[in-house]
Chains A and B, each alone.
Chain A
Amino acid sequence: MTSLTKMAGPALTIPPRFRPAGVAAGIAITIVLVLLHWYAAVQTNTSPQDLLEGWRGLWNFLFGVDRTYPNGKTVHQDGAFPLDLRWAETIRPGLEYCLLTIWIGLLGTTLSIPVALFFAVISSRTTNRFVPLWLVGRGVMSVLRAVPETVYALMFIAAVGFGAFPGVIALAIHNVAVMGKLWSESMDEVDQGPVEALRVAGASPTQSAVHAVLPAVMPSLLGLLLYRFDTNVRSSVILGTVGAGGIGFFIKTEVDSFHFDTMMTYVCMVVVLIIVIDLFSAWLRRKVGTV
């Protein structure tokens, strides 16, 4: 039996895995990255030493401290643990605040659907071949997306006052831009075949959007919607801390009044809330058939 190497004639060199230029580039990139991180650490006063030295402050925050004042009086300052587990004063209102946070996330997501869909359709090459409109759609979404939810919330709180409603509006506006972009990207990736087939049949771009693109992308749009609901509930916790209602608002007020135990109870409730929403959204996305 002849071996393959004997049959192959002149020996072939094995192409090298790494080229010198590639190795040099890799070293250069590593050096630049290390320098960038070193500079960032200096600028932010990040030092493991400070964290180690500050452990006493952290201990006091977690478990409380007796403060002795110059006049000889000693006052106990409660820490975060043990948790404040009073039902009527803490847990029941906490549950209501959690629900309010969910409602803010839900409305913020749902209200953005029609506008997000409009922007997704004009910003996908599959559904809109008119370049100026396409650019407008992309541009508006980029600008809206560049402003964080928190900043929108601060603006609407300044306009209409504290409460859940400014949070809803802030989430909706930001979500139009983010979900619109995610949706338009999934429309870009759709199989062009049915779109072409309908074009041959004389369908207008709007008609092929409705009859070829949307049915094909509907599961992924729904999956992205659920993912955004999940994210928006998280965001609405943060919006609360700047005054836009929900559990976040009460975490902020409790920490401001040094009720660390109540605050920590609410933080624990947020952890449970986020995990539950996360599991629920994942379960629903599996049901819908997309990840």
Chain B
Amino acid sequence: MSERAIGVMSAEQRSGTALLRIEGLRKAFGQKTVLAGLSLEVSSGEVVSLLGANGSGKSTALRCVVGLERPDGGTITVDGVTARRAEPMPTVAMVFQKIHLVPRRSVLDNVCAGALGRLSLSRSWSVLAFPREVQAEAMACLDRVGLADRARERAGRLSGGQQQRVAVARALCQRARVLLADEPVSALDPAASEQVMNLLRSLADDDGLAVAAVLHQPDLARRYSDRILGLAGGRLAFDSSASEVTDETVANLYRPAVEALEAAERRPAAEMRELV
């Protein structure tokens, strides 16, 4: 049996059907194909890590799911509902490498912004118009990430790790069931990274969220996720349970990229010599 089949089976055994299902996702930017028929599934209560070299399509795949990019083909289904192209879904939230909070707004207002999708303009034309129940829900979300005591501080004053947890609280306030994380810890120090990864793990374990995270740290991926998906050339290279992924598997995943990088660095010098 192939590695891939094992991975899918173990996920389905745990919680039945997949919450997020991507089938045959294709996307090209001009001539450059980034996603060449990517298929993957993430179940409720599961943390899945996506590994792959720069340009392998990990981030683009996540951005297609949340409607920030328009896929050229393929289907995205969340809890049985098919996503419309380039339109965000209320059930899917995302956290970013650069966190993307509004630094000049308070922590609480940033979390409340997660609820904008279900608020009419008359209840969201200003932070002063946010209904009490939304603010109460936002406080509960902040409490869930352990930052309720910082609610009235400016988001920009918090440390990077705390800001990323506020971003997670914003995703919770959106009432998302699928949480996508695009390199959530790449800008954080090791201690903050562990804290954020612990939080993602606990959201899957205790709240039943389906979590898919793009990571550049194979070590974190192995320790915090159930499954690891390797992406190369816009396709799935492997799909294995975290414990089965070896250093060699990971090294193989990055090898084509390393070779391409070396080739690119050799080229200018060679061209200069031709001029002589």
Residue ranges of A at the interface with B (Cβ–Cβ < 8 Å): 10-13, 191, 193-194, 196-204, 206-208, 210-212, 215-216, 218
Contacts and interface: CB of A to CB of B under 8 A. Distances in A.
A100 B207 CA distance: 65
Contact of A215 (B98, B104, B275): B104
A7 to B, nearest CB: 13
A209 B206 CA distance: 35
Contact of B116 (A11, A196, A198, A216): A198
B121 interface: yes
A201 B116 contact: yes
B104 A216 contact: yes
A191 B96 CA distance: 14
B66 interface: yes
Contacts of A203: 113, 116-117
Interface of A is mostly: helix
A279 B167 CA distance: 41
Contact of B101 (A10, A12, A194, A196): A194
26 contacts: A11-B276, A12-B272, A194-B102, A196-B68, A197-B94, A197-B96, A197-B101, A198-B113, A200-B88, A200-B92, A200-B94, A201-B88, A201-B116, A201-B117, A202-B88, A202-B116, A207-B119, A208-B116, A210-B126, A211-B102, A211-B105, A211-B124, A215-B105, A216-B102, A216-B103, A216-B104
B127 interface: yes
A211 B67 CA distance: 19
B104 A218 contact: yes
Contact of A211 (B100, B103, B116): B116
A197 B125 CA distance: 18
B235 interface: no
B: contact size bracket: 35 or more
Interface string B167-182: 1001100100000000
B102 A215 contact: yes
A4 to B, nearest CB: 14
Contacts of B99: 193
A202 B102 contact: no
Interface in B134-192: 167, 170-171, 174
Nearest to A9: B273
Given A193-B100, A196-B68, A201 B276 contact: no
Contacts, number: 85
Contacts of A191: 100
A217 to B, nearest CB: 10
Contacts of B94: 197, 200
Given A10-B273, A194-B101, A200-B68, A211 B127 contact: yes
A201 B117 CA distance: 6
B114 A201 contact: yes
Interface of B: 66-68, 88, 90, 92-94, 96, 98-105, 109, 113-119, 121, 124-127, 167, 170-171, 174, 272-273, 275-276
A196 B113 CA distance: 12
Contacts of B121: 204, 206-207
Contacts of B103: 216
A202 B90 contact: yes
Contacts of B114: 201
Contact of B113 (A11, A204, A211, A218): A211
Nearest to B66: A200
B117 A202 contact: yes
Contacts of A198: 113, 116
A12 B273 CA distance: 6
A193 B67 CA distance: 14
Contacts of B92: 200
A211 B68 CA distance: 18
Contacts of A204: 116, 121
Contacts of A10: 273, 276
Nearest to B176: A201
A42 to B, nearest CB: 49
Nearest to B115: A201
